[in-house]
Amino acid sequence: MFQNFADLITYNLLNLTADTRLAESVNFFIYDVVKILALIFAVVSLIGFVKTYVNPKKFKESMSKARFGTGYLAAAIFGAISPFCSCSSIPLFIGFIKARIPLGIAFSFLITSPLVNEVAFVIMGGLFGWRLAFLYAISGIILGILGGYILGLMKMEKHIILEKVEAKEIDAKTLPKKFNEKLKYAIREGKKTFLKIYPYVLGGVFIGSLIHGYVPQDFFTEHIGNYKLLSVPIAVIFGIPIYAGCSAVVPMIFAITKGGIPLGTSLAFMMSIAGLSLPEAIILKRVMAIKLLAAFFAVVAIGIVIIGFLFNALA
How would you write the chain as a 3-class SS string?
CHHHHHHHHHHHHCCCCCCCHHHHHHHHHHHHHHHHHHHHHHHHHHHHHHHCCCCHHHHHHHHHCCHHHHHHHHHHHHHHHCCCCCCCCHHHHHHHHHCCCCHHHHHHHHHHHHHCCHHHHHHHHHHHCHHHHHHHHHHHHHHHHHHHHHHHHCCCHHHEHHHHHHHHHHHHCCCCCCHHHHHHHHHHHHHHHHHHHHHHHHHHHHHHHHHHHHCCCHHHHHHHCCCHHHHHHHHHHHHCCCCCCHHHHHHHHHHHHHCCCCHHHHHHHHHHHHHCCHHHHHHHCCCECHHHHHHHHHHHHHHHHHHHHHHHHHC
Highest mean pLDDT pick, 214-218, 286-290, 297-301: 297-301
Residue 253 has pLDDT above 80, yes or no: no
Say which residue, 63 or 189, is predicted with more confidence. Answer: 189
> pLDDT tens digits, residue range 124-169?
887 788 888 899 899 999 999 999 999 999 989 889 886 554 544 4
Residue 193: name the closest of 156, 163, 152, 218 by CA: 163
The fraction of the chain above a pLDDT of 70, given in percent, is: 81
Residue 89: name the closest of 40, 56, 160 by CA: 40
Say which residue, 289 or 51, is predicted with more confidence. Answer: 289
Dihedral angle sign, alpha carbons of residues 122, 125, 130, 135: negative
Residue 123 has pLDDT above 80, yes or no: no
Please state the pTM of the whole predicted model: 0.75
Confidence at 172, pLDDT banded by 50, 70, 90: very low
What is the rounded average pLDDT of the residues 67-91? 79
What is the rounded average pLDDT of the residues 175-203? 81
- Residue 215 CA to its chain's centroid (Å): 21
Residue 66 has pLDDT above 80, yes or no: no
- pLDDT of 154 reads 92
- pLDDT of 165 reads 46
- pLDDT of 32 reads 81
**Burial zone of 219 (CB within 10 Å; 0-12 exposed, 13-18 middle, 19+ buried):** exposed
Residue 266 has pLDDT above 70, yes or no: yes
Residue 60 has pLDDT above 70, yes or no: no
Residue 210 has pLDDT above 80, yes or no: no
What is the rounded average pLDDT of the residues 177-205? 81
